[in-house]
């Protein structure tokens, strides 16, 4: 009797111990970044999300990141290394990691992978992305209302659908309040080259654009607008991060990515074993896209209007690509009364009306 | 409106070409002494971060330039020790220096990534800046732009009009002969290498303190490599370096003006972006198509290790 009790007690103790152990053992979560974290930009926003998640799930997870990982063959080695090191959840945060992530995910079926901005998924590989275009549309509305020259300049990296979508959304927002508005685009063919980005911004300003925005990674465009603000009255909209620090007078607003809530939610799902494959494309409703705080130079009634439109985007009443959507050539892409489908948006390879530049054909 | 455009294009061209001119002229002198230092990209990066840090802490952009120069000299000293004293392979030493410098600058620069630097007011040359079109484009520039012009004249004068320049070229042509008539080949090569490093450092300082007043990792973005290739395409002639640099800068700015004009032209943006590279190579190849002038100008011992007592 006594011995049985003892045995039971030991057993219970062992069980308790082991559960206590597993509870105390935090899950390792890894992140792969394409560029240095820095102080603003795409990777910086992901790292903010990582920190927020780590603080919220304190004790349950430990995180680790590797920055500046080139896309391509090298990425596979590093993702594999991360899985081998015992990371159970791995986020790969750039488009070019798609194939390597998929490959590694097949050899580590017990690890859960998440790839940002791609289109390949699997049993243990989820996809996530943000509806950047919602913020772009609202930025466009502000630009359309406040522009004196009716010209906006857009410094863009590469002509891929994600970037084109942003240009078109901005143009549609601008045109919705200003029929004379036009958007001019300069492609710098680089995600990150502050010198070139700056030159492109300066060129657009010299050619009459008084609203400037960018889809590149540095703060150079906002800084250029700040420099020319006094002389030319140039305003700027930041992208990825709030860059008000770099354009204290010139920045009116911007489109920012907020990944923290998504990371917290997803990791909880995986930890609770409730996760079953995700393809998350979140926008303002999910809080994954937010407007950078509007500066006091945006008139109060316009601020009110933007807040109202933001609410309408969240409820789905307003869709930046609600029909009719007509492209530059006059061809109708979406009929009146319909919204563009997600897959059509992700394959956008034309400019809408309101963009003045020619579409870069491949 | 039209004149304003020309003025802005010209202005931007000169700004874009300036770091290339300064760095390429430094490398030109180094190569004329027979040393191939491929470390320009890394040296520029370290110069850029050093200049930014000092300009930020002291609030004085001029001290920033000096710091960039000092950092460039230190970097090229490393190269000198490796390639000249220890007689390691020059190509390998230079490549290593580039990789090291880019990494080192990222490491030193971490705390400065969040710092913004006030842009520096340009220097207006009295009277000249009032010339229509050309005045605002050429004579309302940063001090380093004027420095780059002076540098072209100085380098050309030094190489072709002074005895020291003649000796330096002799060392580059035939180190064995120069050595046998009593010139210190290694010492002269050291001086040339340090000068090249100093100029690369100043070029970096121009990038981080004047061109885009900020520091971010990777901001030099390949300009060190462009400067290196300019030296070759310019067939080691200072004036051609200037032509090449402005041509490169000018094409880059011009293609942006075409894109930004809002006029619909059906040329792929990628092709437009490649144009500066293509045009610069094409023009410089045309200028220097005469093979004998290339042979005449290219230092015969370029890239070869010199063993004094061999």
Which of the residues B212, B225, B264 would you substitute to probe the A interface, choosing the one with the greatest number of A C-beta atoms within 10 Å? B212
B33 or A2: which leads in pLDDT: B33
| Model confidence pLDDT, tens digit, residues A268-285 | 999 998 888 778 899 999
Helix axis angle, B238-260 to A194-206, nearest 10°: 60
Mean of all residue pLDDT scores within chain B: 90
| Model confidence pLDDT, tens digit, residues B215-233 | 888 889 889 999 999 998 8
| Model confidence pLDDT, tens digit, residues B87-103 | 999 999 999 999 999 99
Q: What's the confidence (pLDDT) of residue A16?
A: 44
Nearest to B216 among A38, A187, A189 (CB): A38
- Residue A244 makes CB contacts below 8 A (sequence gap 6+) with A238, A251, A292, A293, A295
Within an 8 Å CB–CB cutoff, is residue B270 touching chain A? yes
Distance CA B51, CA A110 (A): 49
Give the ipTM: 0.79
Distance CA B173, CA A347 (A): 59
Which of the residues B269, B271, B278 would you substitute to probe the A interface, choosing the one with the greatest number of A C-beta atoms within 10 Å? B269
Q: What's the confidence (pLDDT) of residue B259?
A: 85
Is the distance from CB of B24 to CB of B84 less than 8 angstroms? no
- CA-based Rg of chain A, rounded to a whole angstrom? 23
| Model confidence pLDDT, tens digit, residues B156-168 | 999 999 999 999 9
Nearest chain B residue to A357 by CA distance is B262
Among A101-105, A136-140, B78-82, B121-125, the minimum mean pLDDT is found in B121-125
| Model confidence pLDDT, tens digit, residues B27-73 | 999 999 999 999 999 999 999 999 999 999 999 999 999 999 999 99
Q: Is the pLDDT of residue A19 over 50?
A: no
Q: Is the peptide bond before A315 cis (omega within 30 degrees of 0)?
A: no
Q: What's the confidence (pLDDT) of residue A25?
A: 81
Distance CA B213, CA A17 (A): 58
Q: Is the pLDDT of residue A2 over 60?
A: no
Question: Could A206 and B4 be called an inter-chain contact, meaning their C-beta atoms sit closer than 8 Å?
Answer: yes
Nearest to A194 among B106, B116, B219 (CB): B219
Is the distance from CB of A306 to CB of A291 less than 8 angstroms? yes
Q: Half-sphere exposure (CA, 13 Å, Cβ side) for A46?
A: 28
Nearest to A195 among B113, B207, B266 (CB): B207
Measured over the CA atoms of residue B166, residue B171, residue B177 and residue B180, the dihedral's sign is positive
Indicate the pLDDT class of residue B9, thresholds 50, 70 and 90. Answer: confident
Strand order, beta sheet including A27-32: A61-66, A27-32, A89-92, A112-116, A125-130, A279-282
Distance CA B303, CA A360 (A): 42
CA distance, residue B239 to nearest chain A CA (Å): 24
Q: Half-sphere exposure (CA, 13 Å, Cβ side) for B48?
A: 38
- Tell me the CA distances in angstroms from B25 to A44, A246, A280, B191, one per residue in order: 37, 33, 53, 14
Q: Is the pLDDT of residue A3 over 70?
A: no
In terms of Cβ atoms closer than 10 Å to its own Cβ (0-12, 13-18, 19+), residue A16 is exposed
Question: Could B256 and A209 be called an inter-chain contact, meaning their C-beta atoms sit closer than 8 Å?
Answer: no
Smallest CA-to-CA distance from B172 within B34, B25, B28 is with B34
Indicate the pLDDT class of residue A37, thresholds 50, 70 and 90. Answer: confident
Distance CA A73, CA B230 (A): 31
Measured over the CA atoms of residue B18, residue B20, residue B25 and residue B30, the dihedral's sign is positive
């Amino acid at each position: 009797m006594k011995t049985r009790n003892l045995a039971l007690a030991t057993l219970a103790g062992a069980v308790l111990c082991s559960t206590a152990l597993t509870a105390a053992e935090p899950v390792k979560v890894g992140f792969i970044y394409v560029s240095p974290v820095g102080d603003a930009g795409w990777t910086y926003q992901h790292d903010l999300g990582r920190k927020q998640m780590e603080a919220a799930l304190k004790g349950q997870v430990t995180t680790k990141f590797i920055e500046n990982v080139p896309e391509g063959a090298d990425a596979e080695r590093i993702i594999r290394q991360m899985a081998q090191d015992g990371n159970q959840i791995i986020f790969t945060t750039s488009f070019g990691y798609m194939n390597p992530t998929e490959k590694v995910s097949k050899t580590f079926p017990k690890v859960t992978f998440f790839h940002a901005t791609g289109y390949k998924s699997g049993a243990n590989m989820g996809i996530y992305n943000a509806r950047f275009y919602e913020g772009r549309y609202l930025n466009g509305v502000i630009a359309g209302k406040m522009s004196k020259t009716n010209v906006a300049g857009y410094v863009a990296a590469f002509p891929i659908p994600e970037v084109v979508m942003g240009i078109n959304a901005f143009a549609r927002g601008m045109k919705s309040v200003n029929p004379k508005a036009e958007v001019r685009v300069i492609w710098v063919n680089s995600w990150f080259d502050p010198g070139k980005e700056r030159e492109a911004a300066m060129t657009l300003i010299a050619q009459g654009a008084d609203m400037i925005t960018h889809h590149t990674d540095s703060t150079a465009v906002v800084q250029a607008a700040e420099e020319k603000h006094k002389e030319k009255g140039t305003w700027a909209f930041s992208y990825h991060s709030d860059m008000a620090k770099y354009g204290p007078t010139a920045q009116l607003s911007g489109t920012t990515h907020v990944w923290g809530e998504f990371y917290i939610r997803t990791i909880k799902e995986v930890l609770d074993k409730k996760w079953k494959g995700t393809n998350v494309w979140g926008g303002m409703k999910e809080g994954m896209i937010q407007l950078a705080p509007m500066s006091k130079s945006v008139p109060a009634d316009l601020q009110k209007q933007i807040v109202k439109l933001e609410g309408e985007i969240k409820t789905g009443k307003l869709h930046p690509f609600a029909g009719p959507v007509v492209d530059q050539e006059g061809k109708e892409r979406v009929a009146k009364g319909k919204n563009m489908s997600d897959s059509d948006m992700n394959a956008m390879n034309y400019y809408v009306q309101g963009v003045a530049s020619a579409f870069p054909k491949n | 409106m039209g004149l304003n455009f020309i003025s802005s294009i010209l202005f931007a061209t000169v700004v874009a070409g300036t770091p290339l001119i300064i760095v390429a002229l430094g490398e030109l002198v180094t190569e004329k002494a027979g040393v191939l230092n491929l470390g320009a990209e890394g040296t520029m990066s370290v110069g850029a971060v050093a200049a930014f840090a000092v300009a930020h802490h002291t609030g004085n952009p001029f001290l920033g330039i000096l710091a960039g120069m000092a950092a460039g000299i230190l970097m090229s000293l490393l190269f000198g020790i490796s390639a000249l004293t220890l007689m390691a392979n020059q190509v390998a030493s230079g490549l290593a220096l580039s990789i090291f410098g880019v990494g080192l600058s990222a490491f030193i620069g971490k705390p400065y990534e969040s710092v913004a630097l006030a842009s520096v007011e340009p220097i207006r040359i009295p009277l000249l800046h009032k010339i229509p079109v050309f005045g605002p484009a050429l004579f309302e520039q940063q001090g380093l732009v004027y420095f780059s012009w002076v540098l072209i004249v100085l380098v050309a004068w030094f190489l072709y009009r002074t005895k020291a320049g003649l000796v330096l070229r002799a060392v580059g042509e035939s180190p064995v002969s120069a050595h046998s008539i009593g010139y210190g080949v290694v010492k002269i090569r050291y001086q040339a290498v340090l000068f090249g490093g100093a100029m690369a450092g100043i070029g970096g300082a121009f990038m981080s303190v004047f061109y885009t007043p900020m520091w971010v990792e990777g901001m030099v973005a390949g300009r060190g490599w462009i400067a290196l290739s300019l030296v070759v395409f310019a067939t080691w002639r200072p004036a051609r370096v200037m032509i090449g640099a402005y041509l490169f800068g000018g094409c880059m700015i011009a293609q942006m003006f075409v894109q930004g004009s809002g006029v619909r032209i059906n040329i792929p943006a990628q092709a437009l972006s490649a144009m500066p590279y293509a045009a610069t190579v094409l023009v410089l190849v045309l200028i220097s198509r005469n093979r004998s002038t290339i042979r005449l100008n290219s230092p015969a011992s370029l890239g070869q290790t010199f063993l004094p007592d061999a």
